[in-house]
Structure 1
Amino acid sequence: MLVFYATEFVLPLPPGHRFPMEKYRLLRDALAADAAFRLRQALPASDGELALAHTPAYIEAVQQGTLPAAAQREIGFPWSPAMVERARRSVGATVQAARAALLDAEGVAANIAGGTHHAYADKGGGFCVFNDAAVAARLMQAEWARRSPAARARTLRVAIIDLDVHQGNGTARIFRDDPTVFTLSLHGARNFPFRKEPSDLDVELPDGCGDDDYLTALEQALQELERRFEPDLALYLAGADPHEGDRLGRLKLTDDGMEARDRRVFEWLWQRRVPVAMAMAGGYGHDIATTVRVQRRTFAVALDYWRRWRAQRASRPAASPASPA
């Protein structure tokens, strides 16, 4: 299974900063120990790719370091060249994962980071500089149309299934008038961001929500998604922050509840043969090892379903020389 990372590009954060940057390297190292995962360093997203979801003025301000101090505070990171490079590569990792899943017929691929759903077209927020899911969705729509002439009759339909504990306000705003992208967010009702944007489907959860109530809400949300939308591609934000050990999440999902969440999403997509690119989104455990453990189990579930896609490809008869390319 292909996994894309940018862990060599680390932000120079001040002492005591609450963002757990080290989790990405720890997760990469854990995955590298399993030969089933094919790890690839992510390429940076270009200005043109970023411009599919972001305004040119914002892209330039990030690149040149001319963001006002208030804008930097809203993002939560001090500006540096490393911040820019890492933000570009975080987007690039999701783009590459989506391309592998959809266009290269991998079925399932992943970004160790990503899930930067608080970034709007013209600003960042909540540790999010550029919106990887938004860029990937629009770029895949363009590449799918170019690669498949028959697909030009309609636009690729993308479902963004956001199960980070925080509402995907930036993503919701970017796609609010776009019927080709369906935004679904399950999140803590009283958690950040305190000013939310309407997604196509928002499911608000109370503080302390546990496994049973969460999984019931997820099942109902997937049923509603199926009723209203038929995706060709999914982007899954598999945040670890609904876990009971997360210091920012305020929900109470156990390890088994988190695994059941992931398995339900992947099963729903597999039953419909919808390729999926996964991003890990948030995770702020009191103990960073807890976050990495939860994420590693998410990757184990994803690997199970990637193997199903691989088995399906292997069972197809080879094309004859007379068959169209």
Structure 2
Amino acid sequence: MEKYGKLRDLVSQLAGVYLKDAPAVTDTQILYAHDASYLIQVLQGSLSPQEQQEIGFPWSTQMVERSRRSAGATLAAAKIALQEGVAVNLAGGTHHAYRNKGSGFCVFNDSAIAARALQKEIHPKLKVAIVDLDVHQGNGTASILKNDPSIFTLSIHGENNFPFTKEVSDLDIGLPDGTGDESYLEALHQGLEKLGERFKPDFIIYLAGADPHEGDRLGKLSITKDGMRQRDVCVFQFGLDHQIPIAFSMAGGYGKEIQSTVDIHFQTIQTALQYQKRYA
């Protein structure tokens, strides 16, 4: 949790960045992606001990509020990106949350909520791609959106990492342990090329996890800090080339040294800022 405050402190010093408090998503917006029975459980604090254990932390009113605002920040970033090209949620990326349960430190699925909210509240025919580059597969996102042809899910992740039972995204690229920069970036180029060919999105939600980095405790991949920068460049350049707005979230990051995770997240934001200025 400490990384979020450290990241915000760094971002607040960047010229050209406007920080805004995260709004909370409404019950109606949560229900775009989640079952009513699950939402009631979360709001009332009636999750069983086993359900809380799967989420990874105990229920509290603060947990509910933070989960609302984490999802609300991704939606707010998405609405700003429609106007300005690029915007960021300094948290988010809660991609293990399913329609009817939380998992892996994720209560509400911010990407699925934001994608559906954009379609229901802004542009009903908007084609949204979720580009998930957290080292863990976006299993909850894939499950929630598996029968929705208007939203494309792309996940590039460690094949042998959590979750150990994978869901089926529209495009999954599972990488072996120890994958380095060259192989990773090649897989990303191929993934984005297939995304462009098969779907032609109008909007991208990008999960910019720091956990593919070689210094991550849970990542199992071997991507250097410069490789992480090149990863971000690939995504933002793809958006710029096709004039596709991008909202992105920080997603995972569990560095052996917390500052390394903060630095990678900050590098992503610096890279995004360079591209934001170039949108028409």
Q: One fold, TM greater than 0.5?
A: yes
User: Which residues in structure 2 correspond to 1:8-47 (within 5 Å)?
Assistant: 21-47=1-27
Aligned match of 1:197 = 167
Alpha carbon RMSD of aligned pairs, Å? 0.7
Measure, in 1, the Cα distance between the counterparts of 2:221 and 2:115: 29
Measure, in 1, the Cα distance between the counterparts of 2:267 and 2:220: 21
User: Which residues in structure 2 correspond to 1:139-150 (within 5 Å)?
Assistant: 139-145=117-123
Aligned match of 1:306 = 276
TM-score (norm 2): 0.99
1:291 matched to 2:261: yes
Aligned match of 2:108 = 130
Measure, in 2, the Cα distance between the counterparts of 1:35 and 1:226: 33
Note the alpha carbon deviations across 1:289-314, whole angstroms, 9 max, x for none.
Answer: 000001110001100111112xx2xx
Measure, in 2, the Cα distance between the counterparts of 1:101 and 1:296: 18
- The amino acid across from 1:167 in the alignment is Q
Note the alpha carbon deviations across 1:161-214, whole angstroms, 9 max, x for none.
Answer: 000000000000011011000000000000000011000000000000000000
Note the alpha carbon deviations across 1:197-249, whole angstroms, 9 max, x for none.
Answer: 00000000000000000001111111111110011110000000000010000
Measure, in 2, the Cα distance between the counterparts of 1:234 and 1:228: 14
- Cα shift at 1:35: 2.7
TM-score (norm 1): 0.85
Aligned match of 1:253 = 223
Say which SS state the counterpart of residue 212 (structure 1) adopts: helix
Aligned match of 2:63 = 83
Measure, in 2, the Cα distance between the counterparts of 1:144 and 1:271: 23
Aligned match of 1:74 = 54
Match of 1:60 among 34, 40, 47: 40
Say which SS state the counterpart of residue 37 (structure 1) adopts: coil
1:185 matched to 2:155: yes
Aligned match of 1:49 = 29
Aligned match of 2:251 = 281
Aligned match of 1:160 = 130
Say which SS state the counterpart of residue 124 (structure 1) adopts: coil
- The amino acid across from 1:56 in the alignment is A
Say which SS state the counterpart of residue 243 (structure 2) adopts: coil
Measure, in 1, the Cα distance between the counterparts of 2:104 and 2:30: 19
- Cα shift at 1:60: 1.0
1:220 matched to 2:190: yes
Structure 1 residue ranges, 4+ long, deviating more than 6 angstroms after superposition = none
Measure, in 2, the Cα distance between the counterparts of 1:123 and 1:106: 34
Say which SS state the counterpart of residue 278 (structure 1) adopts: strand
Measure, in 1, the Cα distance between the counterparts of 2:5 and 2:17: 15
1:233 matched to 2:233: no
1:117 matched to 2:87: no
Note the alpha carbon deviations across 1:94-115, whole angstroms, 9 max, x for none.
Answer: 000001111xx11100000000
- Cα shift at 1:37: 1.2
Say which SS state the counterpart of residue 91 (structure 1) adopts: helix
- The amino acid across from 1:287 in the alignment is E
Measure, in 1, the Cα distance between the counterparts of 2:206 and 2:55: 22
Measure, in 2, the Cα distance between the counterparts of 1:77 and 1:88: 16
Aligned residues: 280
Task: Give the structure with higher Rg (CA).
Answer: 1
- The amino acid across from 1:173 in the alignment is S
Unmatched 5+ stretches in structure 2: none
Unmatched 5+ stretches in structure 1: 1-20, 146-151, 313-325
Measure, in 1, the Cα distance between the counterparts of 2:37 and 2:247: 28
